[in-house]
Structure 1
Amino acid sequence: MQPGVHRVPLPLPNDGLHAVNVYLLENLADDNGIVMIDGGWAIPEARKELEAAMAAIGRDLGDISHILVTHIHRDHYTNAVELRRLLGSRVYLGAGERPGLELLGRLRNSEPAGSLDVLRKAGARELAERIRKMDHGGYDPAVWEAPDHWLGAETLRFGDGALRVIPTPGHTKGHVVFLDEQHGLLYAGDHVLPHITPSIGFELAEPGGRPLADYLDSLRLITRYGDARLLPAHGPVTDSAHTRVAELLTHHDNRLAQSLDALGEGGLDAYAVARKLGWTRRNVPFSELNAFNQMLAINETAAHLDVLVLRDQVTVASVDGIDQYTRVR
């Protein structure tokens, strides 16, 4: 790891991903403070791990002056807001997340409203209703407050260092990454992950646009900058962000071809297509996924089919509120 950069895996309270990486940057010291990338989930276990990591480098929580959050999901954002209340740190978040945060404040619950709407249009209304009734952890307005600064495409300067903010919509509408060009480091959040592909379009806000098309464009955008070490939110640090971007683009090319094959000749909704595909690196049948992961699978299938529509390989028509896709002959 680059001197002055510390990766700290913080625990998560679920059985999917077990940890989220946050990064403590002493190499961008601002008035002897520490810049932190991502905040983690606001649970006591995460606070304890963070305190221990700070102590290990001869610091304490009070030294965290700025928290730069890659996106709005609770495993990245909620602990940043909690730390701001405790420490007075400044919190930064991509401007594209603003509609989702404002919708959350109006709904006052943590259900993924945008993703549930996608399920309904995909023909999975029963699954959407089942997920809507699940416990989504309640709504605590204290950890969903607005950031101090909404980020666009800009450069943040701390002391003698700088981070380029690059908007990378796809995983969420407002996802951003932070590029330290001086040291060749890319703090990639969930945009580029070393071993898994991030979910696409898992939104709190209303659905809209073409999240996979945005994601593929955002991946290509990364290659317009010099290659850098990949510092992801989940998994280990790797040497080349560009190498992993190329692998992700190939993966989605393959997945688009599989989705087209699964669509076949007749008109199908995204729910039907998702049930014909394998999932995860182990090619697990759709029926073996839990309800939450079935939602992610259907959302991603709809996103892939929408890209095929953009490429004029598939047509789509709404029938009784459900999108029906048909292969172009």
Structure 2
Amino acid sequence: MTDRIRSMVSRTSKLEFPWNAPPGKGEVTEISPGLLWARLPLPFRLDHVNVWLLEDDDGWTVIDTGCATPELFDVWETLLAGPMRGLPVRRVVATHGHVDHIGLSGWLVERFEADFVGTFAEWIWARLTHMHDVPNSSATHHSYLIRHGFDESVADGMIKSRNRFIDLSGPIPGAITEIRDGHTIRFGRRDWRVLVTRGHAFEHASFYDSVSDILISGDHLLPRISPVIAVYEMTPTADPLADYLASFPQFADIPARTLVLPSHGMPYRGIHERIEELRDHHRKRLDATANSLSVPRTALDLSRTMFPHIEGPDNIGFALGETLAHINYLVNSGVVQEGRDANGRAIFTARS
């Protein structure tokens, strides 16, 4: 994932980090009684995902799972036999449908005949995007890449790279217990309020325990980086950045002392300071995007300016998507206009 291009926490950040180091591979850190933190390795530049293990009366609830690699299967076996004491997994919860969060959900559900819990949109999104041969998906992706500035050979290579990415997911569960914004769900002997937000995903779920003041935030509020806010080929005119910025008031009533458990990075306190940092980051990115469009440019050309150190097809794809998220926000705000060049590619220009 494109972690280094989204780093924006200043040296004067007011966030508080109660732990100095994450748990080791196959080990856990106790966050609170019955709530354990494990960290799984990922085969990306963003090289880990945090998962949360909550003990119930008859077994465990697992929140997020990592993706399907031999190393992750081994780590899960260590966790199941060790800190989880051989007790069964009764519930698998997905914060959202990205492969590092949902990729092994089907394996755990099938192994333990567990219940799968998540939002409907993320379940459907994962079932469509984490499988090969979805009708018209490759053709649509190819057209999207060409439209935004890639040549044929590079676009073909990115399609093939995405197919390799798909292989990092095991089967997605065939049935779901759906949760929605405002629901209360009980797991780990605690009641959790569900907060469903858009921006990073279509229906990202976070979970807030008001008794212990703990928020499992998934990817929505990360401490050191901004989550990917990107436009994808399936919804090319979407405005995920507007959705993301509009989500912040949903957390306004959460106390400042709340411990935030993110999917990447370290647990922290300072949720409202972090939200302000994220707002400020995207304001600056919007200003930089508009300034860089004083002359007509494709989204690919602009992404190379906005993210000059990006390499590799996966990261280039994320950079394009993030660039388009800021462009689409500015188009909808009337700051930028879209046109076409002689080759039919989309060209964006700031309005004078």
**Shorter-normalised TM-score: what interval?**
0.7 to 0.9
C-alpha distance 34-115 of structure 1, shift in aligned 2 (>3 A): farther
TM-score norm. by structure 2 comes to 0.79
* Structural RMSD (CA): 2.9
Give 1:208 shift. Answer: 4.8
SS at match of 1:326: strand
C-alpha separation in 1, matches of 2:123 and 2:84 = 36
Give 1:311 shift. Answer: 2.0
Q: In the alignment, which residue of structure 2 is the partner of 1:59?
A: 85
- Which structure exhibits the higher relative contact order, with contacts defined as CA atoms closer than 8 Å and separated by 6 or more residues? 2
Aligned match for 2:111, one of 63, 86, 91: 86
1:21-46 CA distance string (max 9 Å, x none): 100113xx2x3322211111133322
Aligned match for 1:132, one of 143, 153, 159: 159
Aligned match for 2:283, one of 253, 257, 266: 253
C-alpha separation in 2, matches of 1:146 and 1:89 = 12
C-alpha distance 202-237 of structure 1, shift in aligned 2 (>3 A): farther
1:76 matched to 2:101? The reply is yes
Give 1:54 shift. Answer: 4.4
Q: Which AA in structure 2 matches 1:303?
A: A
Q: Which AA in structure 2 matches 1:11?
A: P
C-alpha separation in 2, matches of 1:141 and 1:200 = 21
Give 1:86 shift. Answer: 0.7
C-alpha separation in 2, matches of 1:222 and 1:91 = 25
Q: Does the CA contact (< 8 Å) of 1:24 and 1:37 recur in 2?
A: yes
1:135-176 CA distance string (max 9 Å, x none): 515559952233422322122123752111211111121222
Q: In the alignment, which residue of structure 1 is the partner of 2:8?
A: none
SS at match of 2:244: helix
Q: In the alignment, which residue of structure 2 is the partner of 1:282?
A: none
C-alpha distance 160-101 of structure 1, shift in aligned 2 (>3 A): closer
SS at match of 1:157: strand
| Identity fraction in percent | 29
C-alpha separation in 2, matches of 1:232 and 1:112 = 31
C-alpha separation in 2, matches of 1:71 and 1:116 = 25
Q: Does the CA contact (< 8 Å) of 1:118 and 1:299 recur in 2?
A: no
1:202-247 CA distance string (max 9 Å, x none): 6585545211111122234323433421111111111122222211
Q: In the alignment, which residue of structure 2 is the partner of 1:315?
A: 337
1:63-110 CA distance string (max 9 Å, x none): 32111101111111121110111111111122222442353477537x
Aligned length: 316
1:268 matched to 2:287? The reply is no
Aligned match for 1:200, one of 214, 223, 229: 229
Q: Does the CA contact (< 8 Å) of 1:172 and 1:203 recur in 2?
A: no
1:234 matched to 2:264? The reply is yes
Q: Structure 1: any 5+ residue segments left out of the alignment?
A: 280-284
Q: Which AA in structure 1 matches 2:240?
A: P
Aligned match for 2:201, one of 172, 181, 193: 172
C-alpha separation in 2, matches of 1:139 and 1:261 = 39
Q: Does the CA contact (< 8 Å) of 1:71 and 1:172 recur in 2?
A: yes
SS at match of 2:164: coil
1:41 matched to 2:70? The reply is no
Give 1:299 shift. Answer: 0.9
Q: Which AA in structure 1 matches 2:312?
A: N
Mapping for residues 7-46 of structure 1, pairs under 5 Å? 7-12=37-42, 14-26=43-55, 29=56, 31-46=57-72
C-alpha separation in 2, matches of 1:47 and 1:96 = 27
Q: Does the CA contact (< 8 Å) of 1:20 and 1:233 recur in 2?
A: yes
Q: Which moved more, 1:290-299 or 1:99-108?
A: 99-108
